[in-house]
Homo-oligomer: A and B are copies of this chain.
Amino acid sequence: MANEFKHLVLVKFKEDVVVEDILKGLEKLVQEMDIVKSFVWGKDDESHEMLTQGYTHAIIMTFNSKEDYKTFASHPNHVEFSSTFATVIDKAVLLDFPVVSVKAPAN
């Protein structure tokens, strides 16, 4: 079986941004696209600035394959969302990788 593939985004939003609205937009995008296998997010609640480097939110999407991720990434809905997303963030870091599952459940 091919490795699952994850699209991981850490974000620091600009001040005054209504994060809930952004996440709702992302939720809508993901729910409309069956190709996204799973989508979870979270807000750091430890707040060690030295460790988080200012990033507050993590977004994790999982796909059945890298090909599925590529299809998602180039879909017009995602491209449109990304261009909006870019306007509301202070900074972000993105990692895209085949998943090595050491301990189940695999994801």
A residues adjacent to B (C-beta < 8 A) = 6, 8, 10, 27, 30-31, 36-46, 48, 51-53, 55, 57-58, 60, 62, 66, 92-107
Residue numbers in B under 8 Å from A60 (CB-CB): 60
Is the beta-carbon distance between B10 and A102 smaller than 8 angstroms? no
Complex-state Cα separation, A106 to B31, whole angstroms:
14
Smallest CB separation, A34 vs chain B (Å): 10
Smallest CB separation, A88 vs chain B (Å): 17
Is the beta-carbon distance between A41 and B95 smaller than 8 angstroms? no
Supposing A105-B105, A107-B38 touch, asked if A10 and B95 sit within 8 A by C-beta, the answer is yes
Smallest CB separation, A10 vs chain B (Å): 6
29 CB-based A-B contacts, threshold 8 Å: A6-B58, A8-B10, A10-B10, A10-B95, A30-B102, A31-B102, A31-B103, A38-B103, A38-B104, A39-B103, A40-B101, A41-B100, A41-B102, A42-B95, A42-B98, A42-B100, A43-B97, A48-B94, A51-B92, A51-B93, A51-B94, A52-B93, A53-B93, A55-B93, A55-B95, A57-B95, A58-B95, A58-B97, A93-B93
